[in-house]
Structure 1
Amino acid sequence: MNNKSLLGASLFALALAAPVAHAHEAGDILVRAGAITVNPNTDSGSVKVDQGPIAGTNLGGKATLSSDTQLGLNFAYMFTSHWGIELLAATPFSHDVKLKNTALSPANGKLGSLKQLPPTLSVVYYPLDSKSAFQPYVGAGINYTWIYDESVSGSAKQNGFSNFKAENSWGWAAQIGADYMINDKWMINAQARYIDINTKATVNYNNVPGTRAKVNVDVDPFVYMVGIGYKF
């Protein structure tokens, strides 16, 4: 037997002897962690005065939110080798809120900031055989975004603004992702989501007593996560 034949036979024997890295099966619990980025795809209505002596005034303009990256966590339970349920969690995201092109020039610029937590519960589907090391998946579910710790920026406060508030949101979510099994327990994961987040923000304008402005904001972020996972 020549060297090439011997090498080929050895590799074939090694492949037969190597354990198959099974992916996800019924009863598996998956825990993933990594960097997660929320990138708002903001589409807001115009800023309007809804309380006070000039109520009904349309100030025009738009609101925007900045992106943020935090620690993302996934917890999933597999009902079968193809179907599972997954919870997305993360450390709190922080976003700057800015107004631009409003008729009230002191309002333009950074209005303030807020924090939010967007837990999302999804049903996920893995189409490939469980023996495949590469496991793409799709999912859909429901999101609840808890918005808190709203604050007015220093410059906005100097211009007479206070009491910045934003409402929590319920919405739907969709995702695509993939696991690659390094071995029977460890995996590399990448995922992308679209989350339907809508809120109404309000702020008081103290230079005209009793005046409050509001704006409806479709945040609708794209959410990206890359990390590692472990299967129990």
Structure 2
Amino acid sequence: MTRKKVKLAYITNDSSRKATFKKRKKGLMKKVSELSTLCGIDACAIIYSPYDNSPEVWPNIMGAQHVLSEFKRMPEMEQSKKMVNQESFMKQRIAKASEQLKKQSKENREKEMTEVMYQALAGKGLQNLNLGDLNDLSWVIDQNMKGIYKRIEAIKKGASTSSSSAAAAPQVAAERKPAVTGLGLEGMQRTQAEWFNDWMNNNTSEQQLGFGHGNEMIITNFNNNHNANVWPNDFFP
């Protein structure tokens, strides 16, 4: 459960204000101690209140005097560089709130004119709009048209990129395609003929081929490798 936001205003009730002071003072001292320990910096806190006769000092009087003396050695411009009083703090808060209000008003006006634009597209007339409303409506329409044109250009660019990639894909595939993907019948016959010619040229001195006529048998004398397989591939064992 989130904590309820506290209204930053003076507490008029005495008892409530005193209880808040004690609680906030304790928390402030704890935060200063944590800041000094975790970040290794010199810090001090001095709190005056109408409820105590003497101020409360952290970590102690000597430590506070050391920090203050170091601060006074700094140039005056450096001392007041990040300081704010109540007036300057409130001015900063007002300027920030005004900027947020301006931004939110612009967003609300844009949404309002967008709704008017959709109503006009549905057939509702624009007779009740004044000159300022028409100018704002024109601005909203221009912004929407710019978004539409930008989207169209993006789609065209994506389509052209896709078509270029699709056209380049067959060319790349053709470049990577092997020179011979399959022998086929003609390829196998040519390979067998080339091998047979090479075999005949390289082994004429080691073999004698005799051819008969009619019913005579073909006589073939081989060397010691007569049991070797003739065809060089698995298609003809």
Which is greater in Rg? 2
Higher strand share: 1
Fold match, TM over 0.5?
Answer: no
Higher helix share: 2
